[in-house]
Amino acid sequence: MQVDLHLHTTASDGVLSPAELVKLAARQGVRVMAITDHDSTEGLAEGFAAARRHAGLRLIPGIELNTEGPDGEIHILGYFLRYRAPAFPETLVSLRASR
């Protein structure tokens, strides 16, 4: 089973839209994928809409949070987000503004 749990779209620094990324993954035989854009869940709705058109492909809602540690930048991957919860986008806005 092909799995890719760290993918970016044009919602952050990727070159493919969420729909294009899902289509490419399905064409390449990926069965489980996660969209993990930097500090953004903006591409997830489009990604899920595209994934519904590809039987056998499971899309996991994810994010890559960026922060600073004592030795430099840290990237933290999160999966199975409740990205539609009203507080979640507000929290991301606060996180981005704090940098």
Residue 81 lies in a domain: no
Residue 25 lies in a domain: yes
Check residue 68 and give its pLDDT.
Answer: 85
Q: Please count the structural domains in the chain.
A: 1
Hey, is 46 helix, strand or coil? helix
Q: Is the dihedral of CA 4, 10, 15, 21 positive or negative?
A: positive
Range of the domain at 71: 2-76
Question: How far is Cα 11 from Cα 35, in angstroms, rounded to an integer?
Answer: 10
Residue 89 lies in a domain: no
Write down the pTM of the prediction. Answer: 0.90
Look up residue 64 and give its DSSP letter. E
* 52-68 tens-digit pLDDT: 999 999 999 999 998 88
**Mean pLDDT, the chain, whole residue set:** 94
**Residues facing 3 on adjacent strands:** 32
**Residues facing 60 on adjacent strands:** 34
